[in-house]
Amino acid sequence: MLEDKLGISIITYNRDKYLDNTLSSLLNSIFKRCQITVYDNCSTDDTQTICEKYRSLFSNYAVIRHRINIGGGANYLRAVENSDTEYTWILADDDEYDFEDINDVVEAIEGGLYDVISVGDPSGGGVNWKWNNSDVGKRAKELSLEGVKYFYHFNFISCLIFKTVLFDANCLRISYEFFTHNIVNLEFINKSINENFNMYISKKCLVTFTCHQPPPYTLVRQWHGFIHCFAKFDDPHFRECILRGRGALKLYKIGNIFLLAIEKIFFKDRFYPMIVDMFLNISWKSRVYVLPLVPFILIPTPVYKAMRYVYRFVREKILRLPPQTLFIDTSRD
């Protein structure tokens, strides 16, 4: 039976309304009889009120509230560590869920043949990798030939239903070492390629990624962590595919170049050390991709500051638009 096979965890922090929607979606789905655990990262809003609202509505329901905010990555890993069902599914509190017409996913879980079941889309339909291969079972190495698309889906945590035993002690230990780089299941991704996981891709999208708050990191910090993480992958072809696909090409967007300027102004103490560290941790071949960024990196800070004042003058005085502030939410790191 499904409820004997699958355990569902929801990781949450200060998103009471979105958590309410997620729990309501589960309550009105075939998953309502599964073991459901909410991991509250010491929220300060009405999260606990929402949790208590559903206590009597689910048959197998628990709430674990941390004494302090241990960070989003650690909250995820705590959920993995505590899971004791054959399959584990860890949901974010604010993604969009569609639990209608999912017989193929239920059959895949109950059959127990697959190591990982992919049920979501991290890009709202933009990646399209999943839907070209839906309703099929494939091996991880076959799918990883598409490089960045495989990585995108595996790194979208709500997308994956996985065999709990495969996320072993080594995966947990290395994940704790790297989760500050915002890729919380790094070693599990690496293991999926090395051991060539048997994967099933659902017929339809059950989970769609949403982003309701600014990310808890700046652009350079994101890429600094990303490069450290992808260097950990054992498969050289996979590393190069990820760097080319997700890598330097996206840095050349005008908006991202502007963000580089902002970061150089506001976080100058760490800007150059991270840039140098990134450059030293990629292959000579990969460095070719980032060379066009060198002029933007070397532009003197006073020039960037002058550009900033011009930008603000045009925006606020001429266009009469409201001031924009730089906000980095570090509470979810």
Domain ranges of the chain: 2-208, 219-332
At 241, the pLDDT band (50, 70, 90 cuts) reads low
Alpha-carbon distance 65 to 96, whole Å? 23
Bigger pLDDT: 288 vs 204: 204
Helix (H) or strand (E) holding 91: strand 87-92
Tell me what the mean pLDDT of segment 108-123 comes to.
90
- Among 41, 35, 42, 47, smallest CA distance to 9 is for 35
Confidence (pLDDT) at 300: 74
Query: Lowest-pLDDT range, 15-24, 69-78, 175-184, 270-279?
Result: 270-279
Most confident region among 43-47, 182-186, 301-305 by mean pLDDT:
43-47
Q: Which of 78-87, 234-243, 277-286 has the highest mean pLDDT?
A: 78-87
188 has pLDDT over 70: yes
3-state secondary structure of 185: coil
The pTM is what?
0.80
CA 127 from chain centre, in angstroms, equals 15
Name the DSSP class of 293.
Answer: G
Kindly give the pairing relationship between strand 6-12 and strand 136-139.
Answer: unpaired
Residue 325 has pLDDT above 60, yes or no: no
DSSP letter for each residue of 94-152: SSEE--SS-HHHHHHHHH---SEEE-EETTTTSS-HHHHTTTEEEEHHHHHTTTHHHHH
The answer regarding whether domain 2-208 maps to CATH 3.90.550.10 reads: yes
Please give the pLDDT value at position 258: 63
Residue 99 scores a pLDDT above 80: yes
Band (298; pLDDT cuts 50, 70, 90): confident
Question: Does 310 have pLDDT greater than 90?
Answer: no
The model's confidence at residue 327, banded by pLDDT at 50, 70 and 90, is very low
Give per-residue pLDDT as tens, 250-289.
554 555 666 676 677 777 777 778 777 777 776 676 676 6
- Which tokens is 132 given? 């070209």
Q: How many CB atoms lie within 10 A of CB 90?
A: 25
Mean per-residue pLDDT of the chain: 81
User: 232-254: string of b/e by CB count within 10 Å (b at 16+)?
Assistant: bbeeeebbbbbbebbbbeebeee
Strand partners, 177: none
Q: To the nearest 5 percent, what fractions of the chain are helix, strand and coil?
A: 55, 15, 30
How many CA within 13 A on the CB side of residue 149?
A: 16
Measure Cα distances from 47 to 11, 37, 83, 112, 209 in Å.
11, 14, 22, 34, 21
**Does the pLDDT value for residue 172 go beyond 80?**
yes
CA distance linking residue 248 with residue 292, whole number of Å: 9
Q: 318 pLDDT band (50/70/90 cuts)?
A: confident
55-59, 125-129, 219-223, 279-283: range with lowest mean pLDDT:
125-129
Q: What is the pLDDT of residues 117-170, one digit of tens each?
A: 999 877 655 444 544 556 567 888 888 776 557 777 788 899 999 999 999 999
Confidence class for position 242, pLDDT limits 50, 70, 90: low
Residue 110 has pLDDT above 80, yes or no: yes
Angle at 297 between CA 256 and CA 271, to 5 degrees: 85
Structure letter (DSSP) for residue 201: E
pLDDT recorded at residue 60: 98
- Give the residue, 174 or 256, on which the prediction is more confident: 174
Residue 275 has which token pair? 């840039």
Output the pLDDT for position 84: 96
